[in-house]
Amino acid sequence: MSGNRDMTGSGDGATNAMWGGRFADGPSAIMREINASIPFDKALWRQDIAASKAHVAMLGTQGIVSAEDAATISAGLDQVAAEYERDGVPENWDLEDIHMTTEARLAELVGPAAGRLHTARSRNDQVATDFRLWVRDAFDQMDEGLAALQRALVTRAGEHADSIMPGFTHLQTAQPVTLGHHLMAYFEMFRRDRARIADARARMNECPLGSAALAGTGFPIDREMTAAALGFDGPTANSLDAVSDRDFALDFLWCCSSAALHLSRLAEELILWASQPFGFIRLPDSLSTGSSIMPQKKNPDAAELVRGHAGRVIGSLTSLMITMKGLPLAYSKDMQDDKPPVFEAAGLMGLSIAAMAGMIAGSTFNTTRMRAAAELGYATATDLADWLVREAGIPFREAHHITGSAVKLAESRGIALDQLPLDDLKAIDTRIDERVYAALSVDASVAARASHGGTAPDQVRLQVERARAMLGMEE
């Protein structure tokens, strides 16, 4: 959007006519270029047409414009929309933005009646409404994408509720977990991302249309009517606030950033798992690339780009926060720069979510390799300490020390804990007996973690069942 100058006449397409009689001379070439937002805000054309149709319908109902003019304008807007759909939005920089572009074309189609469309509104409330409508749609699209990703995670988690792999802290083997449990951790992250989306979408669903430039209007408009027509819960309560803030766009970018962080973490794990030293996963060929010089390479480029896109998404949030941080009420031209970061982030998120869903659904997991890694990493050391506490009545700190000695001995021999002879274990502490071996296998370890939300296969299956119900997935 450009400034807060109202369009009051249909004009002939020149910037002077659109600005009205206040300016004798047209803008300089520099001003024309810096002022034009049509190259990016043309993306709002569907929302601009919808809001204009709602506005003119209300004007006609209220008797502010004649029923004949309202019908003429509405039909003209339909024709403009059909042209945009067919041919795209033309970029005439003299018309500055999507709002002037649409009204200028409308005037060519229906004549002077087009000039009545802008009665009782400003480009300030017009763009605030259009942008809210666009962001609301973007919220819905992101939510749908995350739901598809969740379905992929839940499906694969159900397949691998019993598949054992090492769980890591500090990227060091910590305790054995199941692959299903690991995948369900990301389901939970994206569940919270979707909850943030729902919360932000509900909060933003108020209609600015009718706030005019900043102070409302003297025409007898019906803001409830336009709000309902556009699917809002109601009109905004304060006209000054309605045209001044972009916190709904910041909420959107925060939701994007949060989900992008989770996508990036999952992408990083897939990248590690696909590397030869790990060998846990084979990514689908359709989301991998080769090397221009090394024929053996299969690069996880899609995952790397998801990881990289997270930085750009977070940068978009930072950009708009800095744009808005020092603006006085109401509208300032700085706010023209609100849309590019939002448009960029939405596009990046759509690609990233789709790519990640494809990788999760299409990957092959090497569960044999995963299990072997869990068995070699002394991942059941905690289980030995827990056994000493539970069966021998030893304080945990003492049990921790005893277990460390056992791990050191097994490591020196290059064997797993459950391969240490009983005599060697008893030499470390006489309170250890043959029952300990039942606790030292990776299978016993994961089975023992049966607390709510734990990694035991039965718990994972419960998590999967709950998630499938939440997503409405058929059995």
- 56: which residues sit within 8 A by CB, 6+ positions away? 65, 70, 73, 74, 77, 116, 117
Beta strand residue intervals within 326-450, DSSP E: 364-365
| 418/421 Cα distance (integer angstroms) | 8
pLDDT of residue 86: 96
The DSSP annotation for 232-253 comes to: -SSB-S-HHHHHH--HHHHHHH
Please tell me the predicted confidence (pLDDT) of residue 29.
79
Beta bridge partners of 207: 235
Which secondary-structure segment (H or E) carries 26?
Answer: none
Cα–Cα distance between 251 and 345 in angstroms, integer? 12
Instruction: Read off the pTM.
Output: 0.87
Extract the residue ranges of the chain whose pLDDT is less than 50. Answer: 1-16
Q: Supply the pLDDT for residue 5.
A: 37
Distance CA 264, CA 272 (A): 12
pLDDT digits (tens, 9 = 90+) for 151-199: 999 999 999 999 999 999 899 888 899 999 999 999 999 999 999 999 9
pLDDT of residue 15: 45
Asked if the bond preceding 330 is cis, omega within 30° of 0, the reply is yes
Note the helical H segments in 3-122: 15-19, 29-35, 38-41, 45-61, 67-87, 98-110
DSSP-derived secondary structure letter, 321: H
CA distance 445 to 454: 11
Give the 3-state secondary structure of residue 48.
helix
Residue 443: Cβ-neighbour burial (10 angstroms; 0-12, 13-18, 19+):
middle
pLDDT confidence of residue 416: 82
* Beta-bridge mates of residue 173: 168
Residue carrying structure tokens 């007996």:
433
- Residue 186 exposed, middle or buried by CB count within 10 Å (0-12, 13-18, 19+): buried
Q: How many CA atoms does the CB half-sphere of 360 hold within 13 Å?
A: 31
Compute the Cα dihedral for 108, 114, 117, 120 and give only its sign: positive
User: How far separated are the first and last CA of the chain, in Å rounded?
Assistant: 49
DSSP string for 331-361? --GGGGGGHHHHHHHHHHHHHHHHHHHHHHH
346 vs 312: CA distance, rounded Å: 11
Coil/strand/helix, residue 281? strand
What's the pLDDT score for residue 36? 81
Task: State residue 10's pLDDT score.
Answer: 36
pLDDT confidence of residue 24: 58
Q: Determine the Cα–Cα distance for residues 309 and 299; give it in Å rounded to an integer.
A: 17
Could you tell me the CA-to-CA distances from 312 to 135, 168, 299, 349 in Å, in that order?
A: 18, 28, 22, 10
The secondary structure of the chain in percent helix, strand, coil, rounded to multiples of 5, reads 65, 5, 30
For 142-172, b/e burial (b = at least 16 CB within 10 A) is bbebbbbbbbbbbbbbbebbbbbbbbbeeee
What type of residue sits at position 463? Q
CB atoms within 10 A of CB 123: 25
pLDDT tens digits, 419-465: 889 999 999 999 998 888 888 888 988 998 999 999 999 999 999 99
Give the catalytic positions in this structure: 170, 291
- Distance in angstroms (rounded) separating the CA atoms of residues 240 and 126: 14
CA dist 117 → 5, 37, 339 (Å): 15, 21, 24
80 and 105 Cβ atoms separated by less than 8 Å: yes
CB contact at 8 A, 55 and 121 = yes
Contact 422, 432 (CB under 8 A): yes
**Number of Cβ atoms within 10 Å of the Cβ of 128:** 28
Which candidate, 201, 260, 275, places its Cα nearest to that of 233? 201
